[in-house]
Structure 1
Amino acid sequence: MLKPQATATRDLVNLDGTWRFALVQSDIEKEAPWSKPLPGTLDAPVPASYNDIFVDPAIHNHVGWVSYQRTVTVPRGWSQDRYFVRVSAATHRGRVYINDKLVAEHIGGYTPFDAEVTELVKPGESFRLTITVNNELTNVTIPPGIIEVKQNGQKSQRYFHDFYNYAGLARSVWLYSVPKAEYVQDVTVVTDVEGSTGVINYDIKTATPEASNSNSSSVHVVVVDEADKVVAEASGAKGSVKIPNATLWQPGAAYLYQFRAEIRQGGKVVDSYSVATGIRTIEVRDYEFLINGKPFYFTGFGRHEDTAIRGKGHDSAYMVHDFQLMHWIGANSFRTSHYPYAEEVMDFADRHGIVVIDETPAVGLNLAIDSGLFGKKLKHTWGPEYINDQTREAHADSIRELIARDKNHACVVLWSISNEPSSSEEGAREYFEPLVKLTRELDPSRPVCFVNVMFATYDKCLISDLFDVLCLNRYYGWYMHTGDLPTAEAAFEDELKGWVAKYKKPIVMTEYGADTMSGFRSYYNAPWSEDFQVAYYNMCHAVHDRFPEVVGEQVWNFADFQTAATHIFRVDGNKKGIFTRDRKPKAIAGVLRERWNAKLKELNEL
């Protein structure tokens, strides 16, 4: 799951740009879009979601397969290499074809997958690359959904998460090479601190198992600091290196060492791979969340990968601007709600000292929300008809892939394995207990959480004891006691008292907010006005400040974002953003900036 990189022993070709594009109108096996040049005149940009690119409603509302196609040439100098196509994300199911041959298939819309093409095309030759993508969600996918077929035979997608189901190739596609004989296949680093000495524990896997499993001397490690000075070296595929007087990775003050894994033969480097490594520690102690032994208070956001036209398509300009806005407002953290974000976002957070709660795509595991919103008969979430054992295996795969991709990021301090599941419903514990165990086995170095929905209060939740940190989404004053802030404040405080008394764990408020129309002002603090949003947040923060057990606040949401058109309580999307969808500040932005910068000053003085 290593992200491809260009080194002295590896090459990297970016395949972004415009690709031929077509809908699959019937059975994909019968149409076989990979078998010939795609018909029609449509081109689609990569990376981008395809839904909002075109003006044809049939494309925007399409449920099923689509095809992307382009011609690729393998560089002439790759005769001594193996080469792969890497798809950074295909939402939610992807297949890769080289000419007429299927070479890879992957289920899961937010994590990457590779397809080796070495034996199918030679250096200097061109091939037809077709990637088919399916956006369907069922009860055994993560996230889940339901496919309904209308009387006219047209498919319709229902899903139970409150953001638009953008689809396509939303992240980059690459062609990359590695040495043919032996190469670095995986690297795991876990850091520690002993006094002023930084420790990097590592495990390196190579393409030749004997080399990696026998502590072979052909594997060498070099650690380089930001001044490009070698500060530590070691031999062997597994071990540790120590860095005297190490500079730690700190929230807001990132420092990254380059951990370079090398395979050497006869003194010659035949392959190398570098991991940007921040040395830091994480600990949950009683009510505190500690980074490098110091109490940390999360300020920031739940966010979405969501922009106009591009949908969930990764955009470096938006990424940099969004991080600038977070810095301006005093945010030191965010949650990848509700799916893993692009690898470029995680790299950027590493470099700039932004703390991340990293979340799987397990959102919508809660039929009670759907029933409550639309007045339908309450159905059981956990059982054969909806979230079942097969769903849990897909969920387990999403956890495996998330940790495999993001385990080396210093910015990641907490794994979130689900957002707002029906945790108070019978069957929840049986579903989640093995997933928590799996997460801890895959990465014992980080704490684990899930994000609790407002219906599953401290006296009803069946799984909160399994986790290290309590992450609560609460909307007192908006969905409950709407507009009545004094009553909402009392109810909110009363519930937090219950969580503190029962669980004695740190609490992060991972969602709280109120829909707000930019420019709507009200003398009376009317709901949906900017004035009410300010009053609402002031009420919430007054409650937070009464509880030392509250160690963080991530408001919902960073910016307005698109939702399903069938959600008639949304007008052109969710409007809980602190910024509009095009990143203009609402009145609350200045209030948060003052509060959060004061919080950061307090943290720096500890």
Structure 2
Amino acid sequence: MLKPRPTATREQIRLDGLWRFSVGDAFDTGTVLEAAVPASYNDLFTDPAIRDHVGWAWYRRTVRVPRGWAGERILVRVEAATHHGRVYAGDTLVAEHVGGYTPFDADITDLVTAGESFVLTIGVNNELTETTIPPGTITVDQAGRKRQQYQHDFYNYAGLHRSVWLHSVPQLHITDVDVLTALDGTINYSTLTSAPVNVDVRILDQDGAVVATGADGIAKIDDPILWQPGAGYLYTLEASIDGHDVYGQPFGVRTVEVRGTDFLINGEPFYFTGFGKHEDTPVRGKGHDDAYLVHDFQLLDWVGANSFRTSHYPYAEEVLDFADRHGIVVIDETAAVGLNLAIVSGLTGAPPRPTFSPETFGDDTRAAHAQAITELIARDKNHPSVVMWSLTNEPASNEDGAREYFEPLVKLARTLDPTRPLTYSAVMFATAANDRIADLFDVLSINRYYGWYVATGDLATAEQYLEGDLRGWLQRFGKPIMMSEYGADTQAGLHSVWDTPWTEEYQAAFLAMHHRVFDRIDGFVGEHVWNFADFQTSHGIHRVDGNKKGVFTRDRRPKAAAQELRRRWRSLGNRKPA
């Protein structure tokens, strides 16, 4: 699904702003509430019944179609409706989509008239079940209120988290573009159209000059400027249908490869430094915000990070566009977090249940997971910043049924994109000895919390545990290994001269211990600290106003650990210490 872009044949109107808003089974025509788009609705209002609402919420506004759009196809693009969206033009349902972090279009051509107005209503349902990605369960309390439980450790914000667009395309139009590059400048491309027709292709450089033309799915750029970490040079593939449509797809010339225990970008070893992040800010929740986008990337540059993981869902496409332009490397992850019922048992004391079974996460869950993978790759396949797909975070990969669940999904991802390596983030319970799926993937991404949840406050013991654990994975699988999560909750402003958990000094010492271990291990290719910034979570006695593992506070103030990372990462660049 092509992102709406302004061209000579296509126009867009961004419908961000204040919409009428209500919660319930249908839109309340008497509502006086207004909600911001994009934003989560949970933190906008003081009414706890809205913040804790489980079920449908509704957004409505009147939209005028430009009179110049007569004869065009007219669509509404919803970039994210978390987690289930419905679009109505007037009283007519025109589109429905399940999956809260990928976009969908609603074709309203036959229901609206150019130059006239219509009422646009978008419903959003935040319910998670054992057949959604991410999963969850719904219960009903004694008062008859729905309650949502889920396995992931971040708040289940809901709403229209990204922009809504009204956009036009010609009747005969380009529907998809796929670009593959080689270091010698050879461009292999393919296009899809709404009807069989010839498509002309030319390649433009960043100044708009034509540097190549395409024929039979191939174009060649002489002496290409490569997209590299820290230097995000972009070309544009301009596809056109003579007299009907033109669409420009940005791309970068770069290659990605796993060779032995090395991760290579453009044939050169690359060492990941950065974070797991979240789309999470005060008041706006998971709503995309360009100001935070710019500031967060400034902080990545300040601390010396070269990459991040989109934990634990696809981020707004504006984030990837920004990473493309600025040379930041991205591990792109699906919303498959929480496929691990052992965590639920550990936190609640409930009897353990098998994670993968017809009664828990079975065929229907895997089908939803397959849809999430398909939509992620379809949306993000042309972003040069995306160098690896992460198919899931902390699944029960040590349990019976894990291989049967994941093997078809790995095959699907490789079919959809054979050019990028695959990974997943392994949970603490999954060890080199009992993991069932690591051999299916290209890079081993390990989440570990030695010194926090294990050997709390004892960094000497934690160092021994960590090194033995990582060496076990390398010995058994012989693949590149990176740390996709390591961190310690830290209350900004809390200090101690001893190794005292929750203090800023302990967080810095915790990270320094990990880095000593990383530097001793061959085949180690990267370190992503958990987390970039503090973020909101669900209620729990183990959380005080959210997760405090951020190196920055939720409002982006640095803790002492940020200076520790800055000293290390700015000296590393993109290479591991010799």
CA distance in 2, matches of 1:249, 1:177: 31
**SS, match of residue 535 in structure 2:** coil
Partner Cα distance (2:434, 2:574) in 1 = 37
1:44 partner SS: strand
Hey, what does 1:128 align to over in structure 2? 119
CA distance in 1, matches of 2:49, 2:226: 52
Q: Deviations over 1:367-420 (max 9, x none)?
A: 111111222221111112211100000000000000000000000000000000
For 1:101-250, list aligned pairs within 5 A. 101-180=92-171, 182-193=172-183, 197-208=184-195, 210-211=196-197, 218-236=198-216, 239-250=217-228
Aligned to 1:329: 303
Aligned partners of 2:114 and 2:564: how far apart in 1?
A: 58
2:412 to 438, 445, 454: 438
Structure 1: runs of 5+ lacking an equivalent: 212-217
Deviations 1:546-569 (A, max 9, x none): 01211000000000000001x210
Task: Say yes or no: does 1:569 pair with 2:542.
Answer: yes
| C-alpha distance in 1 between matches for 2:207 and 2:126 | 46
Is 2:61 aligned against 1:70?
yes
Separation in 2 of the partners of 1:140 and 1:376? 21
Unmatched segments (≥5 aa) in structure 2? none
Q: Which residue of 1 aligns with 2:321?
A: 347
1:440-589 matches, within 5 Å, as: 440-565=414-539, 567-589=540-562
- Residue pairs, 1:13-32, within 5 angstroms: 13-24=13-24, 28=25, 31=26
**3-state secondary structure, aligned to 1:83:** strand
| Aligned residue number for residue 6 of structure 1 | 6
Tell me the equivalent position of 1:420.
394
SS where residue 487 of structure 1 aligns?
helix
2:241 to 263, 283, 302: 263
How far, CA to CA, are the matches of 1:63 and 1:227 in structure 2?
A: 49
Cα distance in 2 for partners of 1:549, 1:376 equals 39
TM-score by length of structure 1 reads: 0.94
- Return the letter of the residue paired with 1:259: L
Correspondent of 1:600 among 569, 573, 577: 573
Supply the distance in 1 between the matched residues of 2:359 and 2:419 (Cα, whole angstroms).
Answer: 36
Matched-pair contact (CA < 8 Å) for 2:424–2:444: yes
TM-score, normalising length from structure 2? Answer: 0.99
C-alpha displacement of 1:490: 0.5
Number of equivalences? 578
Q: CA RMSD in A?
A: 1.1
Question: Equivalences for 1:381-392 in 2 at 5 Å?
Answer: 381-392=355-366
Contact kept? 1:485, 1:539, Cα under 8 Å: yes
CA drift at 1:601: 6.8
Instruction: After superposition, give the CA deviation of every residue in 1:183-235 in whole Å (9 maximum; x if it has no partner).
Output: 11000111112xxx312110100110x22xxxxxx311111111221100124
Structure 1 position 602, deviation (Å): 4.8
Give the residue type in structure 1 aligned to 2:560: A
The Cα shift of 1:168 comes to: 0.3
User: What does the per-residue CA deviation read over 1:320-359, in whole Å, with 9 as the maximum and x for residues that have no partner?
Assistant: 0000000010100000000000010010000000000000
SS of the equivalent of 2:423 reads strand
What SS does structure 1 have at the residue aligned with 2:8? coil
More off after superposition, 302-311 vs 117-126: 117-126
For the 8 Å contact 2:332–2:389, the answer to whether it is kept is: yes
Q: Does 1:252 align with 2:230?
A: yes
Equivalent pair of 2:271/2:574 in contact (CA under 8 Å)? no
Answer yes or no: is the 8 Å Cα contact 1:560–1:575 preserved in 2: yes
Equivalent position SS for 1:18: strand
1:528 alignment partner, SS class:
coil
Query: Distance in 1 between the 2:472 and 2:426 partners?
Result: 14
Q: How many Å apart are 1:80 and its aligned residue? A: 2.4
CA distance, structure 1, for counterparts of residue 365 and residue 575 of structure 2 = 44
Separation (CA, whole Å) in 2 of partners of 1:167 and 1:456: 31
Report the AA paired with residue 242 of structure 1: K
CA contact (8 A) 2:269 2:575 kept: no
Q: Which runs of 4+ in 1 moved over 4 A?
A: none
